[in-house]
Amino acid sequence: MKTIPEPTKLEKIETIKRGAPDDVFICCGSPEERCKGTIRKRSPNYEANTVFLLRYTNHESQKREQNVKEMKERLEKVGKIIEIVVDEEKPIPIINDIIQKIEKYATEPRKPRITIDISTSIKWHLLILLKALDLKNICEKIRFLYTEPEDYETDLFQPLSFGISKIFPIPTYSGNYDFSKDSLLVLLLGYEGDRALALLEEMDPTDCLLLIAKPAYHKEWEGRTEKMNTGIINVVGKSKIKYVDSRNPVIISQQLHRILSNQKYSKYNHIISPLGTKPQILGLYLYLSTNPSNTVLIYGAPLRHNEPFYSRGIGDSWILPFNKKSVVSENEI
């Protein structure tokens, strides 16, 4: 029986190879406190030859600038910092540039030592980055780190974002679509119920599945996703809820495989929209690496984030398992 790799809780970040600095450490500045999570947990010995600090600048944010300032101060002790400014709407050339830089700074091209903190990456950018890394055959050599927030401000049950900036197919994940089939919208739900409803309204699918993260990061968070998505659950129906893991990409990919390879869904195009957790993005990518047919990814970019009541604090940090060979069906376990 194959063992499913588990996320590893991180108290301190050490280098991938003992005694040698990482080639590259990549992180992303954000208004969320947790963008500093892994950096604050680095061990005094942690070093990287180069640090890529990504900044999105489409929206002004004092909190983000404060966080970036602290990140820079801490990262100066890690290695040479290259600040990369990314236009949220036009990331592809930057992603390609990152890949080229990774290749340039890798001391051993076949065994690069790359650590990427995905805590506050933009989900659709992360998906394109994963594809780019995969095409270079270095995807599975990356160490992915993730820090949870300490909590979300959900006692107000205000959404984490408002409005829709635009709904679009994620570049390089569209076109695999069969006109003779109807569509099944698969929503990995988060805490943005209105965004999910807007996607449902726009995509007008024949059927819909609502994937809710379970178990939640913390026991006391159970039920929040359902509460924040009452509207869409009302429309689609409770019978369409399925549960997927919140934190382990390998389990997530297996669950996606199990759910979506069900015969009753084979008559549909699968339109998947990830509104859930970042580990679910990795899991989604692992699932997509099995080349399911007629699958398209759609994204609804929010108009603005609910910064005053977004995430709070810095929670646990994890190393996430990411291995395409681990994507097996439950029957094979």
Partner 1 sequence: MRVFISYTHDGKKYAEKVEKDLKDQNIGIWIDKKCIEPGQIGLREIDDALYHVDYVLGVITKHYLTSIGGDEAYAKISEGLQKKDIRFIPLFFMPRKEVESVIIPAIQGFSYSEDYEKGLHDLIKFLKQEEKEDAKELLTKIESSESPNPFRRVRAEFFHDDYKLLALAFAEPEKEKYDMIREAKPILVFGGRGSGKTMILKSLIPEVVISRLNVNTFQDARTRGINFFGIYFRLKKGSLLIYDYHPIVEMGFSKTGLEKNYELYKSLMDKLKNNQLDSEPVLTAGINAAWAISLNETNLKILKTTIQNLKKLQDEHIINIDRRIEEEITKQIIEKLDPPTVDNIRNFADLIDFTDKELKKIERYLQNLAIPYATPEPNWCQTGTDFLDEIYEVLTNRIGDLENIHIYLLFDEFENLRPFQQTIINEWIKTARSFTVKVASKFEGMHTNMTQQGQPLQDGQDYFTWTLDYNLFNPQGKKQYQNLLLEICNKLLNIANYKEKDIRKILDEPKESELPQEVIDEEIKNIRESAGLEFLPEKLTEYRNKLELATIFRLLRKREKVEGRKSRKKIYAGFETYTYLSSGIVRIFLNLAGMAFYKAEDESINVKIGEKIPIEHQTWSAYVVSKAWLEKIPMNLEEYGEMMYQFIVDLGDIFRERLLYHPTEPETLTIRLTDPYNLKTNSLLSHILSYSIRESILCERKETSSMMPKQSTRPKTKEYVLNRIYSPILEISYRPRWPRSSEFTTSELISLLNPDTRDKTKRKLQQKQYSKEEREKGKTLSLFEYTGEANEDNT
The residues of the shown chain that bind partner 1, judged by CB under 8 A, are: 87, 89-90, 92-97, 99, 128, 131-132, 135-136, 153, 155-158, 162-169, 171-180, 182-183, 194, 197-198, 201-207, 230-232, 234-239, 267, 269, 271, 296-298, 303-304, 306, 308-309
**Residue 131 beta carbon to partner 1: minimum distance, rounded to whole angstroms:** 6
Strand partners, 281: none
Q: Is the Cβ of residue 81 or residue 164 nearer to partner 1 in the bound state?
A: 164
- Name the packing angle between helices 123-135 and 278-288 (round to 10°): 40
**Residue 63 beta carbon to partner 1: minimum distance, rounded to whole angstroms:** 12
- 67 phi/psi in degrees, rounded to 5: -65, -40
Count H helices and E strands in the chain, helices first. Answer: 9, 15
Q: Is the Cβ of residue 20 or residue 92 nearer to partner 1 in the bound state?
A: 92
Residues 6+ apart with CB under 8 A from 3: none
**Residue 132 beta carbon to partner 1: minimum distance, rounded to whole angstroms:** 5
Q: Is the Cβ of residue 70 or residue 307 nearer to partner 1 in the bound state?
A: 307
**Residue 144 beta carbon to partner 1: minimum distance, rounded to whole angstroms:** 19
CA distances from 194 to 2, 32, 152, 189, 272 (A): 40, 21, 17, 11, 17
**Residue 159 beta carbon to partner 1: minimum distance, rounded to whole angstroms:** 8
Q: Is the Cβ of residue 47 or residue 134 nearer to partner 1 in the bound state?
A: 134
Cβ atoms of residues 144 and 116 within 8 Å: yes
Residue carrying structure tokens 């065994």: 111
**Residue 257 beta carbon to partner 1: minimum distance, rounded to whole angstroms:** 21
Distance between first and last Cα of the chain:
5
Q: Is the Cβ of residue 192 or residue 245 nearer to partner 1 in the bound state?
A: 192
Which region, left, alpha or beta, applies to residue 126 given φ > 0 means left and ψ of -120 to 50 means alpha? alpha
Q: Which two tokens stand for residue 300?
A: 């609804």
Q: Is the Cβ of residue 60 or residue 204 nearer to partner 1 in the bound state?
A: 204
Determine which helix (DSSP H) or strand (DSSP E) holds 71, and give its type and residue range: helix 62-75
Residue carrying structure tokens 């820079």: 72
